[in-house]
């Protein structure tokens, strides 16, 4: 599944906001510089995030952007849906008002046409949506902090996927439960 740059930049923007203190708004210019992203495009992305009530802003000398609620309460499906509009593995899948997966083959005038791959793509969509729903912004922020700390440490002292006290990386597995 390929997401657009809107989703990529939006998630990076949200992680950067999550890394900031809740009482310290940050400018888009600072985020663009920190993440090496185009400012004009971030303005479009942040407008969608504001509309979805994921981000708040204030104007003025001490203005900027901050999260609308704690990072623990923001799931990645909320972010991706705000930016992408739907989560579909193929162009022929459409997420309509009822949240059902529809295949565009039905639009070709053949009422009894059955897509042989529909089951596969439904399973792919379900897995991706489940992963997004169970991943919080707080998890990505924590992972980002560990990653940036690992990059600053000598190569022998830390690895990108350091094992935690619980015995494994704290990000949830994308594998479906058995």
Q: Is the pLDDT of residue 66 over 70?
A: yes
Q: Is the pLDDT of residue 38 over 50?
A: yes
Structural domains of the chain in order of their starting residue, each with its CATH number: 5-137 (1.10.10.10)
Reported pTM: 0.73
> What local confidence, expressed as pLDDT, does residue 63 receive?
87
Sign of the Cα pseudo-torsion (167, 170, 174, 178, in order) = positive
* Paired tokens of 41: 């495009």
Name the CA radius of gyration of the chain, rounded: 19
pLDDT class for 173, splitting at 50, 70, 90? very low
Q: Is the pLDDT of residue 161 over 80?
A: no
> What local confidence, expressed as pLDDT, does residue 55 receive?
96
Q: Is the pLDDT of residue 144 over 80?
A: yes
* Paired tokens of 121: 């793509």
> CA-CA distance, 57 to 46, in Å (whole number)?
10
> CA-CA distance, 44 to 51, in Å (whole number)?
11
């Amino acid at each position: 599944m390929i997401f657009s740059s809107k989703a990529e930049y939006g998630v990076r923007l949200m992680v950067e906001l999550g890394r900031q203190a809740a009482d310290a708004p940050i400018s888009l210019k600072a985020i663009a510089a920190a993440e090496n992203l185009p400012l004009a495009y971030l303005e479009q992305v942040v407008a969608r995030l504001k509309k979805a009530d994921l981000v708040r802003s204030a104007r003025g000398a001490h203005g900027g952007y901050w999260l609308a609620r704690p990072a623990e309460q923001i799931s990645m499906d909320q972010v991706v849906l705000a930016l992408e509009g739907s989560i579909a593995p193929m162009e022929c899948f459409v997420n309509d008002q009822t949240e059902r997966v529809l295949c565009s083959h039905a639009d070709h005038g053949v009422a009894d046409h059955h897509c042989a791959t529909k089951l596969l793509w439904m399973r792919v969509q379900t897995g991706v949506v489940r992963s997004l729903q169970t991943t919080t912004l707080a998890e990505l922020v924590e992972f980002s902090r560990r990653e940036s700390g690992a990059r600053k440490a000598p190569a022998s002292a830390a690895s990108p996927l350091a094992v935690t006290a619980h015995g494994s990386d704290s990000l949830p597995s994308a594998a479906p439960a058995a």
